[in-house]
Amino acid sequence: MTDQRPNIIFIITDQQRFDTIHAAGYDFMETPHLDRLHREGIVFNNCFITAASCAPARASLFTGHYPHTTGILKNADTWKHGWIENLQEGGYQTVNIGKMHSWPYTTPLGFDQRYVVENKDRYLEGRYFYDEWDKALRARGLVKQQRELYRQLPDYKESLGAFDWLLDEDMHPDMFVGNMAVDWIRNYPVSEPLFLEIGFPGPHPPYDPIPRYTESYLKKDLNIAPVLESDLVHQPDPLKAMRIHNHEVDHDSVVHLLEPTEEQLHRQRAYYLANVTMIDDKVGEIMTALEEKGLLDNSIVIFSSDHGDCLTDHGHSQKWTMYDVITRVPMIIWAPGRFGEPRAIDGLVQQMDLGPTLMGLADIPIPEPMAARSLLPLLESDAEAASCLRDVVFAEQAKDGILTTSKFMTMVRTQDWKLVHFLDEPWGQLFDLTTDPLEVDNLWDAPEHADKKKELLAILREWRIRDSYENSDLWEDYR
């Protein structure tokens, strides 16, 4: 291969919290392969997504624009384009194995090849979509573990979405995607620089790992934060309503419990973390396959996730809130020797900043306008004050089938403060992250913090005005 531009291997999980990597300081985790990436790579300790659910966050990541600009505000909003098309046009071999969550699921999106594996438990959209995993299960004569079957279990409503995977181990969706990626790397010819997106469906619920992975976690203290009554009482009405909704409707096979026992909480957390360790094993196999194929020396490996999971923290199920356990995600860029010594970066970045960063590394012109900022100045220098760092990060979430009682929710977050705004509504959230890093003391109505609330609301307003103006030419070819 004469083109010596770097291969880009982008591994992205679904719904993985930032506190799920042992090397990041979470001793209860078993993640030796992610630990390697963490030790040897550039680690972004404060990477924030731009939306509190799958498709809006991913569309933002793969376009470099905020959800209010893409118009992709909830799952199943049409998403067909992004910067992968720029990589393809620029001479990269582009391959998707696993989850992307585009809509329609099989839209080309700039990929030369797509091997689509979507949500484990599809129900609201794409319920009858037949992906690569469905085909493999059917070929082996297996019936997928899914909501209709889980509902038949006598303890279904008490399980918080945690179930044992009882089919063939290699038919678990995360095993299946990992194995398919390894097989592709080992057997498919790479004739141009490679962009390979590997999307694991987990640890998104149902939390259904292979049982042998749960054994050690069930015996550990998993550092689960207590849910405080004062936290619940002072949450905005839309979040209170969502707690009830998730108790009454079993999204993704999770029946949310309003007052779970410690045993139920621990079991759910153990199953979730076991799924992360399963994925970690596959990350190790992917790295080995890249090395054996001779691709690793000229590859940049990125690891991240599309958002986190409350796992009953703050009394909530899954995502759709703006707490850090949702909006802050792991992000590692691994390329030993390319960017100097391994290090951690504590400044704020938006995950969508990966787009112009990767195009810069691929020597491909960055389309303008683009709200995302290239992180290359930060990668190529250890200066914490690099211009690509952000003073403020933002996230958005529109009304959907889960956030049912609010039109639109926006987060504005600095290093020290967070404000959550609800469109046309009097309530909100305000947190002093220095004194309250767990976000349990809502200061929205505190008179002594009225000036801080006003300041952050002004920042939010100016951002929306500026972003709309700076990206006003985005659709000029379609006017």
Sign of the CA dihedral with 100 first, then 105, 109, and 110 last: positive
Residue 479 pLDDT greater than 80, yes or no: no
pLDDT higher for 77 or 157? Answer: 157
Domain covering 7-387 in this structure, CATH number:
3.40.720.10
Max CA distance (Å), the chain: 65
Tokens (6 digits) for 17: 């919290």
Cβ-count burial of 143 within 10 angstroms (0-12 exposed, 13-18 middle, 19+ buried)? exposed
Q: Mean pLDDT throughout 209-215?
A: 98
pLDDT of residue 1: 65
pLDDT averaged over every residue in the chain: 95
374 to 26, 355, 388, 415: CA distances (angstroms): 29, 7, 7, 20
Under the banding of pLDDT at 50, 70 and 90, the label for residue 380 is confident
- Residue with structure tokens 């194929």? 293
Tell me the whole-structure pTM to 2 decimals. Answer: 0.97
Residue 61 pLDDT greater than 60, yes or no: yes
Under the banding of pLDDT at 50, 70 and 90, the label for residue 388 is confident
The SS3 call for residue 194 is strand
CA 422 to chain centre: 23
Under the banding of pLDDT at 50, 70 and 90, the label for residue 137 is very high
Q: Residue 59: in which H helix or E strand, if any?
A: helix 54-61
Say if CB 272 and CB 264 are below 8 A apart.
no
Q: Alpha-carbon distance 252 to 240, whole Å?
A: 20
Residue 383 pLDDT greater than 70, yes or no: no
Chain segment 250-307, per-residue pLDDT in tens: 999 999 999 999 999 999 999 999 999 999 999 999 999 999 999 999 999 999 999 9
pLDDT of residue 123: 73
Q: Provide the residue ranges of all domains of the chain, joining segments of one domain with +.
A: 7-387
In the chain, DSSP finds a helix count (H) and a strand count (E) of 15, 15
